[in-house]
Structure 1
């Protein structure tokens, strides 16, 4: 049997198993619809962002040295690689990204949010989240996935997607109800899910946000936070958020 660092390798779930887990944990249809649909959307954006970066990786040998896709700096008048899957911009990644694993991670990243609902929708009233404890949903999801027997590599997507990377320092400084630790992506696949997640909000009703709209939101946590986000946008490129909003018939904040 395969072992990793002395531990049994956990389950790498199928999409069907993931959907069944959402169904099992959802306290109401409304909760399932909001949270599972959000995860499906984030998985779609994740796939788009990875397609983009992998396309740039494939072209790395033919791009000019000063190409914005290499430098991350806008170069007026420079040739720009046409959009991939609706995504424009972005830079050549250091390696090929694993779309398959990232999509599974995206489908599970918010599995813990079923446990931080204030009103869970079973009474027919609108869903609400427990604001003060909401930040715990990543860690709750991580523990939940490990308890389900899922592999650490998959469970980490739940743990490490909050904001633009929740550091130990930020947890302590903001007095968040979490054990002081770094809850930040540990690989590119986790990072892309964290980025994709910012383009859609589980508000009631749910909504899409452009990169600029999220930048305004990030600025509430400080200028550093906003700059980190804008760096990530330069790195991963921008998905076609208006097209997604239209596809899902949801409102768009630009």
Structure 2
């Protein structure tokens, strides 16, 4: 009888060890350097939907930069030697609602079409780039990019279907920014193509952008 008990105990231990080794692969969280559809797991907390809307509508912010900073949690920051881009987020509001609130309370110079889960609001010194996350359901990314950052880092192709190149040239104080930038992107393969949570920063090719990564998730495999 004791032999049977011993065998049963050994089998149970083997099953537990096997489960821990092979049955929990999906439990890791955060950035691993490769694309994953696991939830991010550590998104910043934020007020309720109603509180966010009230805060924006009643804000005394003097700029779009201040309004966004007051209203949404900071997710990440992308820094280069030619500009800075701050990434904010919300899971409480849809992209159309975020655009409506920002546009109503701080009138932009230009508002793009909404296309494939993206929309751009252009202000005198900043581009507000709204994107629906393609890896985190219900998450809206709110990227506040300085004109300098857009001018020196973004790929013009990102704005296709959103803003005309002629308009981008005017907004960025250049006669041919889109043409020259497209040529640079093609020759170097190192142009920023929007923020990607797990990959860090999407690029046209092998990009080498680096951010402060306030939370886990460095640069690497963009889409």
User: Normalising by structure 1, what TM-score?
Assistant: 0.26
TM-score w.r.t. the length of structure 2 is 0.29
Which one has the largest radius of gyration? 2
Q: Which protein has the bigger strand share?
A: 2
